[in-house]
Amino acid sequence: MGCFPCSGKSKKKEKPKRNDKKTEDQISSCTSGLFFSYRLAMSVIEYVSSTVWTSVLGRFYFVHLLVNLFSFFYVHVFFFSPILFSAKSKANLQLDVKKEASKDRSSEHIAAQTFTFRELAAATKNFRADCLLGGGGFGRVYKGRLESTNQMVAIKQLDRNGLQGNREFLVEVLMLSLLHHPNLVNLIGYCADGDQRLLVYEYMPLGSLEDHLHDLPPDKKRLDWNSRMKIAAGAAKGLEYLHDKASPPVIYRDLKCSNILLDEGYHPKLSDFGLAKLGPVGDKTHVSTRVMGTYGYCAPEYAMTGQLTLKSDVYSFGVVLLEIITGRKAIDNSKSAGEHNLVAWARPLFKDRRKFSQMADPMLQGQYPARGLYQALAVAAMCVQEQPTMRPLIADVVTALTYLASQKFDPETHTVQNIRMGSSTPRSRREQ
């Protein structure tokens, strides 16, 4: 595989003091060994990527290989080499993701641009508080403007505490570089300068679906029925692309209102792919993994066994659809006993159609088609079935919601007008 030339000029080292000699030797040995292992892994990845990238299947297996190699590298550094936590060794062993991504960019393996930390700091005015859009488990999200293109962007800065963020960062860059759909957020680029990890997305001016459903200020416009059905149908189409178009299928694993972003005209896009997993292939029925996600959205069988399937995403979508219809949160401890969990509250009501009107969001003020409400609740009820085999395929959900979104409700006349919309393209469906 050839030699790995040392970068930089060699410098004459001062002789360490006697009592520090052992420590210096340990640092030198561990550093050189890890650096060699890292470069070797990168060479293997580069070779594999050039041979398997010609097929979509090969691309996804390459992503899987890359994630596991990087995970091993991080675990090795942080758990088995504690001596490297010194400032000196940290500086010598920073993961040069930018350099490797630049190599891939030259061969069009990764379409995302690479940015320097200085560029993104300038875009956000040094991450000023008035540019902050929000935050979560990954870190903080800032609004910014790229000086090179004058483009408005959203910049997500990784919280450097812990290992999970680094894995999520790598998965998201690779996934969004391979997956492209009108209902998936567009990744513009990323930054991996030193220990900084940032992701640059297209800016979504209307924020998240959560911003329009829960804890609204008095002056904020409420979502009407037509907008809600449009958002639900679009989010389902994004999920359908991951399940039915991607090969192998991709399990999103973190579908929730805060991860559905809204563009102009309430056009929804799925975001935050840090927890995404490749789905089962061949005769496999599930993927076994440690339970991750958000309480209230996780499918019960996944929460209990760690067995992940495409139907796990369908359950999460059912919870989101219930939030859209009812205006309630998936988990709300401010509610009275028995109403904390949205699905547990809704299940008894599903059994009596006469109570369906009680489930509609009071903010709608009765401005919705009764038939459309019944049909939307029926879809949600099927999605949150206890048994995963009883849940519908996401393609069937798309067909139903696309129809409902095409039935435009006129609040003035309380009539429904049929507007032709693009329907789901027939395709082979994967049974779970």
Verify that 222 and 165 share a domain, yes or no: no
Verify that 282 and 389 share a domain, yes or no: yes
pLDDT value for 64: 53
Q: Is the pLDDT of residue 265 over 70?
A: yes
- Could you tell me the pLDDT band of residue 167, with boundaries at 50, 70 and 90? confident
Domains contained in the chain, number:
3
What is the number of residues in the chain? 432
pLDDT value for 282: 79
Amino acid at 26: Q
Q: Is the pLDDT of residue 333 over 80?
A: yes
Separation of alpha carbons 181 and 177, rounded Å = 11
Beta bridge partners of 278: 250
- Residue 149: CB partners within 8 Å, gap ≥ 6? none
Residue 425 lies in a domain: no
Verify that 230 and 306 share a domain, yes or no: yes
Among 278, 274, 298, which Cα is nearest to 163's?
Answer: 274
- Could you tell me the pLDDT band of residue 248, with boundaries at 50, 70 and 90? confident
| Predicted confidence (pLDDT) per residue in 383-421, tens digit | 999 999 999 999 999 999 999 999 998 887 777 777 655
Q: Is the pLDDT of residue 249 over 50?
A: yes
Among 7, 164, 168, which Cα is nearest to 78's?
Answer: 164
Verify that 188 and 216 share a domain, yes or no: no
Instruction: Specify the range with the lowest mean pLDDT, choosing from 92-101, 292-301, 345-354, 379-388.
Output: 92-101
Verify that 159 and 271 share a domain, yes or no: no
Q: Which residues are documented as binding site for ATP?
A: 156
Share of the chain above pLDDT 90, in %: 44
Q: Which residues are documented as binding site?
A: 156
- Could you tell me the pLDDT band of residue 344, with boundaries at 50, 70 and 90? very high
Q: Where are the alpha helices (DSSP H) in 205-261?
A: 209-213, 225-240
Residue 8 lies in a domain: no
Residue 20 lies in a domain: no
Q: Is the pLDDT of residue 78 over 60?
A: no
Instruction: Specify the range with the lowest mean pLDDT, choosing from 237-246, 334-343, 413-422.
Output: 413-422
Among 167, 186, 202, residue at a domain's last position: 202
Catalytic positions, written as ranges:
254
Residue 187 structural domain:
113-202
Q: In this structure, what CATH number is given to the domain that contains residue 414?
A: 1.10.510.10
| Predicted confidence (pLDDT) per residue in 212-235, tens digit | 999 888 888 899 999 999 999 999
Q: In this structure, what CATH number is given to the domain that contains residue 191?
A: 3.30.200.20
Query: Do residues 322 and 345 make contact, with C-beta atoms less than 8 angstroms apart?
Result: no
Query: Do residues 293 and 137 make contact, with C-beta atoms less than 8 angstroms apart?
Result: no
- Could you tell me the pLDDT band of residue 372, with boundaries at 50, 70 and 90? very high
Computed over every residue of the chain, the mean pLDDT equals: 77
- Residue 106: CB partners within 8 Å, gap ≥ 6? none
Token couple for 51: 């041979």
Radius of gyration of the chain (CA): 24
Residue 102 lies in a domain: no
- Could you tell me the pLDDT band of residue 61, with boundaries at 50, 70 and 90? low
331-349 average pLDDT score: 91
Verify that 258 and 393 share a domain, yes or no: yes
Verify that 87 and 125 share a domain, yes or no: no
Residue 25 lies in a domain: no
Verify that 196 and 253 share a domain, yes or no: no
Q: Is the pLDDT of residue 268 over 90?
A: yes
pLDDT value for 165: 63
- Residue 278: CB partners within 8 Å, gap ≥ 6? 60, 63, 64, 248, 249, 250, 251, 287
pLDDT value for 65: 52
Q: E strands of 243-369, at which residues?
A: 250-251, 260-263, 267-270, 277-278, 287-288, 307-308
- Could you tell me the pLDDT band of residue 55, with boundaries at 50, 70 and 90? low
By CB neighbour count within 10 A (0-12 exposed, 13-18 middle, 19+ buried), where does 158 fall? buried
pLDDT value for 112: 79
- Could you tell me the pLDDT band of residue 63, with boundaries at 50, 70 and 90? low
Verify that 180 and 131 share a domain, yes or no: yes
Cis bond before residue 411 (omega within 30° of 0): no
Instruction: Specify the range with the lowest mean pLDDT, choosing from 17-31, 190-204, 299-313.
Output: 17-31
Q: Which strand ranges, in their side-by-side order, compose the sheet holding 187-191?
A: 113-114, 187-191, 198-202, 152-158, 139-145, 132-135
Verify that 367 and 284 share a domain, yes or no: yes
